[in-house]
Structure 1
Amino acid sequence: MAQRTLLQFFHWYYPTGGGLWNDVAQEAQRLADLGISDVWLPPACKGASGGLSVGYDSYDLFDLGEFDQKGSIATKYGDRAALERATTALRDVGLRVIHDVVFNHKIGADETEPVSVRRANPDDRTQLDDQIINAKAWTRFSFPGRGGQYSRFVWDARCFTGIDHIEEPEEDGVFRIVNEYGEGEWHDEVDDELGNYDYLMGADVEFRNHAVYEELKFWGRWLADQVACDGFRLDAAKHIPAWFFRDWVGHMRETIKQDLFVVAEYWHPDKASLQRYLDQVDKQLMLFDVALCHRFHDASLAGDGFDLRTLFDETLVAHSPGHAVTLVGNHDTQPLQALEAPVADWFKPLAYALILIREQGIPCIFHPDLYGASYVDNGGDGNEHHIEIAPVACLPRLIEARRRFAHGSQTDLFDDPHCIAVVRHGTNDHPGVILVLSNGITFEKRVSLGREHAGAAFRDFLGHIEGEVFADEEGNVEVASHAGSVSLWVRSDCL
């Protein structure tokens, strides 16, 4: 696969008001010039909270900000016309458009209907009560504001496996809907957390219903007909049966284009779990390297107590590099979110340098690390918190360095617990680079480049260290990194 750099162009607290699609269009050229190749957009479909929805409370897949539903026409990010302009602007400058797909659940039903349910033990969903409860539930989605345009499909209780609320009698919990699918059991090929992690929230989609299965395939084809589409990010994959995405991704490639980029969010820090899922989907897609993201978090908190030689141990990118999307953070790990595991500010440049300069994996940039973010929300302690995320000052230079210098064969010099280096040796057409970083004291590292570099001068592309260093007659050069910092050493005649 050609060199790619993915940008997540949103975060959980991106300002409301419908401006994001316009921002994408305005930034398209700058991103292309910088070296971004793919832009991951937030969910474009109408959520249950309308114009305030981040997009993961999925309501109507066929409303891209076009219909008066849930209190607004536009989504949080803008209306359909603005979305079309944004995706066109990205394509016009050669960037690929990656859409967020939220299939696991639906929220904000239009009507209640009679259902029969069995209580599930919330701590072990495989334990279901024998008693059947007859009640009412919000499980009918008829989308009256859309009036059947694009799709006349109506979702009802037969389209869902479970819910978290019933009425008449009123009760909250986890309930398995009694229907003709799965012989009363949850889906297989899902994560085994809580016994069976099929159920997450809202009305959980029943993928064994053939009508549902076909509707979701139709929606994927429809979306690609409406707006520019070069790939998908699949939400909540650990809660969706692997056999469904195995078939759905294959169908999308057959009907849209074979080279679709697909990455799934299977949020599990265990590398073996990630590899097992890849096997289940016949390795048709990539996964975010959650294990590496957690390693970055741990290393940033431990400071010089962390052995940098072990940084990639038990990570997906170390074992399945062709299926790993590497990241430093995302909308779920940012402060005050459910999977909060932020990487400390001092370590972010080091982490980004590693995923951008090394050849293994496709790096993903998180919007606040490029643009910054400021927001207020309540934390787990019940108190209000004002969060400021400063942009990583050297991140634009690191992205540029990936485009210009991250070429050729690679040598990892992971030979010291507090200072490691990565050498990209370049090609006939592109120069290489030496990455060196330290989590402790200022450190120098001797690197052997070969006699073709004898006497060559090298300079820190990031400007963290001033001046030049020179290779000796054998092509050996001493390069350095300041304490808790990173430097990129490039031949001066290539700058």
Structure 2
Amino acid sequence: MKKRLLIFGAMISMGLGFNACSSDDPVDPNDDNPGQTPEVPETPAAPGALNLADYNNGSGIMMQAFYWDVEPRHQWWTTIDEKIAGWADAGVNRIWIPPASKGQSGGYSMGYDPSDYFDLGEYMQHGTLPTRFGTREELGDLINTAHANNIEVIADIVLNHNSGGGLEWNPYREKDTWTLFDEEHGNASGKFNRNYENFYPNSTSQYDDGSLFYEETNLDHNQEYVQNWLWKADYSVANYYKNEVGFDGWRFDYVLGFEPWVVKEWMDAVGGYAVAELWDGNPNVLEDYIEETGIAVFDFATFYKLDEALDRNDDLTILERHMVWQNYPEKAVTFTANHDTEKDPNEHNNISVENKMKAYAFILTHPGYPTIFYLDYENQNFQEDLKQLMLINNSLATGDVEILYVDNDEYVMKRSGDGTNPGLILYINNSSNTKRRNITTGWNNKKIMDYTYQTSYSPVTGDNGGVSIEAPGNSYSVYSIME
């Protein structure tokens, strides 16, 4: 089936016709006339290529600078400190680091079991002075290095489920609960001491947020005391992290565990960049959250559609469906993997290794703010290809989106460019054979090339912009004009 979609932000319309055809048979690289349109013989791709550094579109990329159970323990801040300059050179403008405060698991904690919000590796508690990631001083050095390289540092904030307090009688649950947080019980800093009155249920609230984690120690955000310590007061967690530690923004963990107004009030109080982890593949749910809070969300709708299109259903027409970046490109944080999706390779919440680079080709050429997962970038089979896609994201990936062709195996998308920026054409091939597709580019009488170097096939467009482009089997290409 031949389809053509034109997307202007939220608008999708059917429009002008064109000729597009390809063969399901393997392409002979020596065949100058595949399909219906005569082509120029293949030439080396690199000579005459645009200098992509001249086309900075201001996009930027976020690096998720950790994975689950990072090693070596107590050395993570220094480990990634040494990588900052290289990430900056590759086009990263923000890094997202794990929750920096001391958790119940001490030196083994990934930070998602927060105990003392103000212990960033400087108090001896839960069996360790440093966190799993290092000391407070090493965290400061990391942030300073990032800022020196024009990279913002995003703090992972866990605002509901607490862990690691002492045991006390809880009259509202009529049993002992681990709800006592003070200098002797999991809160050595002495800041933001808590007891059963600060968790649900209590004397002022019976609210149940339906949290799946540590339900007995879910903070009551309706209390003035809790609000002051988290974001309102000068001494709050938010102000300490921003004004003293040096964080530039926030990744709000598990926002299903508290109401959207909490995030909005936090942002009104301290500002900065922010993105929410709302684990829901329904784009309408994600877009409603954007509208309620004003912050970005991780685009789980795109993640799951890539998983379905490339892995589960082997059907690229799924990529025509509703995703958050279509309506909210500035608020859609796209990704192909994170610490949770990659935690258990036997789970179905991940994109397979063999399809990972095609997924990255999608998010790094489409609108949205893309995130690179640390382990993917460190994978030597991926790194050079990822760097090139990141360069393309920050240069040619601009302008309106037009889907030129899509079927089960092929997806061809055009970015229109802007002003002197020529834009690009992405070609994903999910079949095992090299394919060529005849399209209309909008570039008249121009020699074009694949800027990802997956293929050296470099044709010239016709008077009407028509041309045949190529993508290797189980791969992708990203075409644009040459000088």
What's the TM-score once normalised by structure 2's chain length? 0.81
Q: Higher strand proportion, which one? A: 1
How far 1:202 moved relative to its partner? Answer: 5.8
Task: State the alpha-carbon separation in 1 of the partners of residues 157 and 436 from structure 2.
Answer: 46
Task: State the alpha-carbon separation in 2 of the partners of residues 27 and 180 from structure 1.
Answer: 49
Match of 1:185 in 2: 207
What does 1:151-300 correspond to in 2, within 5 Å? 152-161=191-200, 177=201, 179-182=202-205, 184-187=206-209, 196-197=210-211, 201=215, 203-217=217-231, 218-253=236-271, 260-281=272-293, 284-300=294-310
Match of 1:100 in 2: 156
Task: State the alpha-carbon separation in 2 of the partners of residues 271 and 307 from structure 1.
Answer: 19
3-state SS of paired residue (1:16): coil
Task: State the alpha-carbon separation in 2 of the partners of residues 101 and 72 from structure 1.
Answer: 21
What does 1:51-66 correspond to in 2, within 5 Å? 51-66=107-122
Greater displacement, 272-281 / 285-294? 272-281
Match of 1:368 in 2: 375
What does 1:90-169 correspond to in 2, within 5 Å? 90-109=146-165, 111-118=166-173, 134-144=174-184, 149=189, 152-161=191-200
Opposite residue 377 of structure 2, the aligned amino acid is: L
Opposite residue 197 of structure 2, the aligned amino acid is: R
Contact 1:346 1:485 in 2 (8 A): no
* Inter-CA distance 43–404: structure 2 relative to 1 (3 Å threshold): same
1:481 is aligned to 2:481: no
Match of 2:359 in 1: 351
* Higher RCO (Cα < 8 Å, 6 or more apart): 2
Opposite residue 77 of structure 1, the aligned amino acid is: F
Contact 2:365 2:426 in 1 (8 A): yes
Task: State the alpha-carbon separation in 1 of the partners of residues 364 and 245 from structure 2.
Answer: 29
What does 1:452-491 correspond to in 2, within 5 Å? 453-491=443-481
How far 1:2 moved relative to its partner? Answer: 4.6
3-state SS of paired residue (1:470): coil
How far 1:27 moved relative to its partner? Answer: 1.2
1:341 is aligned to 2:385: no
Opposite residue 248 of structure 1, the aligned amino acid is: W
Opposite residue 420 of structure 1, the aligned amino acid is: Y
Greater displacement, 334-343 / 435-444? 334-343
Stretches of structure 1 lacking an aligned partner (at least 5 in a row): 119-133, 162-176, 188-195, 254-259, 373-388
Task: State the alpha-carbon separation in 2 of the partners of residues 266 and 207 from structure 1.
Answer: 18
Contact 1:419 1:436 in 2 (8 A): yes
Deviation sequence 1:324-370 (CA, Å, 0-9, x none): 11111111111428975110122211111111111x22111111111
3-state SS of paired residue (2:83): helix
How far 1:97 moved relative to its partner? Answer: 1.1
* Inter-CA distance 220–83: structure 2 relative to 1 (3 Å threshold): same
3-state SS of paired residue (2:115): strand
Task: State the alpha-carbon separation in 2 of the partners of residues 63 and 54 from structure 1.
Answer: 14
* Inter-CA distance 198–243: structure 2 relative to 1 (3 Å threshold): farther
Contact 1:300 1:346 in 2 (8 A): no
How far 1:418 moved relative to its partner? Answer: 1.9
Which residue of 123, 139, 143 maps to 1:67?
A: 123
Which residue of 323, 330, 339 maps to 1:331?
A: 339
Opposite residue 9 of structure 1, the aligned amino acid is: A
1:442 is aligned to 2:449: no
Greater displacement, 31-40 / 434-443? 434-443
How large is the Cα RMSD of the aligned pairs?
A: 2.4
Task: State the alpha-carbon separation in 1 of the partners of residues 440 and 183 from structure 2.
Answer: 65
1:13 is aligned to 2:44: no
3-state SS of paired residue (1:404): coil
Which residue of 389, 397, 402 maps to 1:406?
A: 397
Contact 1:335 1:341 in 2 (8 A): no
Which residue of 33, 38, 52 maps to 2:89?
A: 33
Task: State the alpha-carbon separation in 2 of the partners of residues 15 and 314 from structure 1.
Answer: 38
Opposite residue 181 of structure 1, the aligned amino acid is: T
Contact 1:60 1:143 in 2 (8 A): no
3-state SS of paired residue (1:250): helix
Give identity over the alignment, percent: 26
Contact 2:115 2:186 in 1 (8 A): no
Q: How many residues align?
A: 422
How far 1:146 moved relative to its partner? Answer: 9.2
Deviation sequence 1:32-62 (CA, Å, 0-9, x none): 1111111111111111111111110111110
* Inter-CA distance 362–483: structure 2 relative to 1 (3 Å threshold): same
* Inter-CA distance 69–139: structure 2 relative to 1 (3 Å threshold): same
Match of 1:385 in 2: none
Task: State the alpha-carbon separation in 2 of the partners of residues 145 and 108 from structure 1.
Answer: 7
1:308 is aligned to 2:308: no
Deviation sequence 1:110-166 (CA, Å, 0-9, x none): x22211245xxxxxxxxxxxxxxx3222111113499875x54311001111xxxxx
Contact 2:146 2:153 in 1 (8 A): yes
Contact 2:162 2:218 in 1 (8 A): yes
* Inter-CA distance 392–343: structure 2 relative to 1 (3 Å threshold): farther
Deviation sequence 1:236-295 (CA, Å, 0-9, x none): 101112221121121112xxxxxx2100001112223223333432xx101111122122
